[in-house]
Structure 1
Amino acid sequence: MNKKYLAIILLGFLVFTSCVGNKHADSKQMDLAQIESETQPTTKPNLIFYLADDQDVYDYGCYGNDKVNTAAVDRLAKEGLLFNNAFTAQAICAPSRSQLFTGNYPVKNGCFANHTATRPNIESVTSRMKKLGYEVVLAGKSHVKPATVYQWDKEWEPVPKKDVPRDYIPLDSIENYMKTAKKPFCMFITSKYPHGKYFDVKNPVVNDLKFYPFNEDKKNNKAYIKSRSGYYRSIEEDNTQIEKVLEFVDAHLDENTLFIYSADHGVSGKFTVKDIGLKVPFVVRWPKVIKPGTTSNQLIHYTDVLPTFMNIAGGESAEDMDGNSFLPILQGNNVEVNQYVYGVRTNQNILNSEVFPSRMIRDKRYKYIRNFNSLEVVDQNLTGKPHVDYFIKRGANKYKSEPFEELYDLLNDPFEEHNLAQNPELQSVKEKLKQDLFSWMKSQGDILDETPGNMPIITPKGKKGFKLDQDTPTRKIADSLKNTLTKDDYTVIKHW
């Protein structure tokens, strides 16, 4: 046989045997790659996160309230996936947003009191998503700092609008950007609605509102009815904004666009660790990936959003982030993302300035809360310094109805009306949750620990408006108590 033809035959045989061997060795990788190619778009999708401000999860048509106009969010739920167990860790604005943007819980990222800053060494969404080829945009309310951590490629402030109580999102800038975007983008559209100041509704009608166990006692409260009616009207106004944004998305972007709607926390549970504050609406539309009209009961958290975005962009979440990617759920897999979610309460803020910190741990069924300065343990928290102990006692008395420990069976008591902390049949449940909570707190570098007697009072460096012995916009301090605390009495959070 001709040597040339013999060489060709031999080469073909070697290639064939190599392919057969690799086929068996790499079958798992090939199967996974095939599954991934069937569920993942071939190009990086645009990522849009619309965030409302101070709206209860219970006040949406898709979450069961037929008396409020949330047609745009209801449409998203029909076209996408609705989460029934989505949470933020803190029911106030800045700490809630900082979790979204960093993938870390409030104490760890540093922003665990309102109007305070993220730690300067934290890497945020702006840096992480830019590395993955995205432009990162903020359109609307910011409420996060410092600028060195949050370096948006583009940032547009809310814009004034006549005959409404709050500024609007920058609709023109949003539309123009969507028309002209040249690369994949990650855009946070952050509304100022329905946060008060609310609309002034004339002659409000109580039957136009839906009531729950947490506000049932206010049906005859005229001031509450008027305020709640204005809140409903503000929700409707935000619905108008969302509809405009969806028009832009449908007109200028292709189906390879993921759209998330949420609200930063509940207004009825603000400054608490109850579900009325921490449970949030969370609806996701992603054509060709998410099956329309689906729901998930898996626990997800605001710290999971950035890892998910990074995963979608082709990267992996960083080891120093608390959150986990819920991309598999978006792809139709009913998998557990989190065994627990956690909550933080810090009452020392610009408006509320009482010493009453709390921490929470929750799985799908049970929730444990520790109120570290309850009346039950306040004597153990005293320092022996009369001027300090006055404020510690005042915090305990302000919330005297809240016990040291709370345990709720959320399956049977979703509005947390029946505290089961002393139920003998649930002591093992309580102890497990308690130990897991303390372990998590330690990993977060919490200023609190499990032992009564450690009750730090906190303040930002160099700010008077945050101090216990000064007036705030919501309460006055007696002249005899002003300026009685010294810097040695506080745990100063320097990066604030």
Structure 2
Amino acid sequence: MKKSHLILIPISFIAILLKGCLGNNRSDSKRQDIVKVENVDIQSHRPNIIFYLADDQDVYDYGCYGNEKVNTSAVDQLAKEGMLFKNAFTAQAICAPSRSQLFTGDYPLKNGCFANHTSTKSKIESVTTRMRKLGYDVLLAGKSHVKPSSVYDWDKEWEPVPKKNVPRYYIPLDSIESYFKTSKKPFCMFITSKYPHGKYFDVENPNVDDIKFYPFNINKKDNPEYVKSKAGYYRSIEEDNTQIENVLDLVDRYLDDNTLFIYSADHGVSGKFTVKDIGLKVPFVARWPKVIKPGTTSNQLIHYTDVLPTFIEIAGGKATEGMDGNSFLRLLQGNDVQINKYVYGVRTNQNILNSEVFPSRMIRDNRYKYIRNFNSLEVVEQNLTGKPNVDYFIKRGANAFKDEPLEELYDLESDPFEQNNLTQNPELQSVKKKLKKDLFSWMEAQDDFLSESTGNMPIITPKGKKGFKLDQDTPRRKITDSLKNTLHEGDYIIIEHW
């Protein structure tokens, strides 16, 4: 991409400059000397928007986030060229619910996709409708994992493509290149990789010293199977790094500097299905040469629900009142302002391979996090219904997570890996009370099926088709024959849009 230099020119000439900034090959420029051009009228020169989403990668596994043992050179370079966010979050550490937030601007409970492999509500307006109204093509290149198609009606959608000698399908690079060459209008493209999600590469004779360990997994350092899996995961990250490099080469070759490129990963694999930061905190790096100052960072809380409102504002629109997210365009423009006081998290353990009844909710500010585990052993007796078939599965869920208490409170400033539960600390009772109150207020506003009252432990099931039912086997969990098919429609909350 052509290098930009800060010069004094009349503002009327900026449009000519924008039009004329044709990209050079990325290898010819490391873009270290890009500088910000002030006073660009974004709405008059609407940028192309590209969002690259990796699959199941911990925020702790990037060079730019402190892991020197993994090859993420493409993302590290993006961080040098743009802005790195240190407090970006998804609300759910699972594929479909996480993606639904990006595409709708609403938390999973509001948009309806709060369990994996489920649909958003049919009347939701997603990114396709909202950005199309503002004159954008809206495209998906790669993994989808969202439905229904009536909500996610992409202008163009390209499936992942097979590639030899790799464990996962590749992004559709040829289709992306063809579109870049021929596009005639501004576009919003989501490039959604299947990497580094398992199945991982098979790495022979892995060296434990090549893996970086943290407080949450240091106990597995002497586990050969874990080390081998982690080595394969690192190799899969490296493969995705090559994909990102290929995409950026195309961006720099065919598109001008008025292109916003964002990189993220949908959630952390080490904290999958939890509401811990190892699952909910995500990498988030943005490059926009005409707007973002290179080599900058932001500590402000942003969230996946904020992405669509940001894109709408960039495109010249205004987010609909009632949308959960808030635009962070001002952060990209260099203004250090609060976007969110809190971010929230949701945990739904049903409709996954290890389906259990153990829902959780989380609220977090810049320092403290409060977690409520609604079916902990501490309260399971109060959650029972008197129906033996239902109560068996409620008890089973509580025992499956017997080490997780009803309440958790963490000081993330001193304990970023959430190792020391402070819920009984007398000096923090006012903090806990405030977070707890605000969490339940948010849950009520989200029309959550859970509430503060005990004795409220509904089990959920899809309408009209089979999911991973509690009373049936899954590939990872077996149910005794005497309990199979013992749950009936009246025992469940039926999820209409499942």
Aligned residues: 462
The answer for the alignment partner of 2:203 in structure 1 is 201
Mind listing any 5+ residue stretches in structure 1 that lack a counterpart?
Answer: 1-34
Give, as a single letter, the amino acid of the residue that structure 1 aligns with 2:162.
Answer: P
Report the aligned-residue RMSD.
1.0
Cα distance between partner residues in 2 of 1:37 and 1:196:
45
Conservation of the 8 A alpha-carbon contact between 1:378 and 1:393: yes
What CA deviation, in whole Å up to 9, does each residue of 1:31-77 have, x standing for no partner? xxxx9944637311000000000000000000000000000000000
Match of 2:176 among 168, 174, 187: 174
Match of 1:220 among 219, 222, 228: 222
What CA deviation, in whole Å up to 9, does each residue of 1:300-340 have, x standing for no partner? 00000000000000011111310000000000000000000
The answer for the alignment partner of 1:48 in structure 2 is 50
The answer for the alignment partner of 1:332 in structure 2 is 334
Conservation of the 8 A alpha-carbon contact between 1:86 and 1:280: yes
Structure 1 residue 464: Cα displacement: 2.7
Indicate the percent of aligned positions where both proteins have the same amino acid: 80
Cα distance between partner residues in 2 of 1:440 and 1:354:
24
TM-score, with length taken from structure 2: 0.92
Cα distance between partner residues in 2 of 1:169 and 1:41:
31
Give, as a single letter, the amino acid of the residue that structure 2 aligns with 1:164.
Answer: V
Q: Is 1:256 aligned to residue 258 of structure 2?
A: yes
Cα distance between partner residues in 2 of 1:319 and 1:474:
43
The answer for the alignment partner of 2:96 in structure 1 is 94
Give, as a single letter, the amino acid of the residue that structure 2 aligns with 1:262.
Answer: S
The answer for the alignment partner of 1:21 in structure 2 is none
The answer for the alignment partner of 1:317 in structure 2 is 319
Q: Is 1:67 aligned to residue 69 of structure 2?
A: yes
Cα distance between partner residues in 2 of 1:199 and 1:38:
45
- 1:332-411 pair list within 5 angstroms: 332-411=334-413
Structure 1 residue 91: Cα displacement: 0.1
Cα distance between partner residues in 2 of 1:384 and 1:88:
36
Cα distance between partner residues in 2 of 1:470 and 1:463:
14
Give, as a single letter, the amino acid of the residue that structure 2 aligns with 1:413.
Answer: D
The answer for the alignment partner of 2:433 in structure 1 is 431
Match of 2:298 among 296, 299, 311: 296
Structure 1 residue 352: Cα displacement: 2.2
Cα distance between partner residues in 1 of 2:41 and 2:476:
52
Give, as a single letter, the amino acid of the residue that structure 2 aligns with 1:425.
Answer: E
Conservation of the 8 A alpha-carbon contact between 1:101 and 1:125: yes
Greater shift in the superposed pair: 50-59 or 471-480: 471-480
TM-score, with length taken from structure 1: 0.92
Instruction: Choose 1 or 2 for highest CA Rg.
Output: 1
Cα distance between partner residues in 1 of 2:114 and 2:475:
20
The answer for the alignment partner of 2:19 in structure 1 is none
Cα distance between partner residues in 2 of 1:458 and 1:36:
52
Match of 1:111 among 102, 110, 113: 113
Cα distance between partner residues in 2 of 1:75 and 1:121:
40
Structure 1 residue 192: Cα displacement: 0.1
What CA deviation, in whole Å up to 9, does each residue of 1:204-252 have, x standing for no partner? 0000000000000011000000000000000000000000000000000
1:445 is paired with a residue whose SS is coil
Cα distance between partner residues in 1 of 2:200 and 2:385:
43
Cα distance between partner residues in 1 of 2:468 and 2:112:
16
Cα distance between partner residues in 2 of 1:284 and 1:42:
21
The answer for the alignment partner of 2:240 in structure 1 is 238
Give, as a single letter, the amino acid of the residue that structure 1 aligns with 2:425.
Answer: N
Cα distance between partner residues in 2 of 1:64 and 1:157:
33
Cα distance between partner residues in 2 of 1:350 and 1:61:
32
Cα distance between partner residues in 2 of 1:219 and 1:368:
29
Give, as a single letter, the amino acid of the residue that structure 2 aligns with 1:325.
Answer: S
Runs of 4+ in 1 over 6 A off after TM superposition: none
Conservation of the 8 A alpha-carbon contact between 2:461 and 2:467: no
- Structure with the larger helix share: 1
2:175 is paired with a residue whose SS is helix
Cα distance between partner residues in 2 of 1:41 and 1:142:
29
Give, as a single letter, the amino acid of the residue that structure 2 aligns with 1:492.
Answer: I
Conservation of the 8 A alpha-carbon contact between 1:62 and 1:77: yes
Match of 2:192 among 190, 193, 200: 190
Conservation of the 8 A alpha-carbon contact between 2:43 and 2:315: no
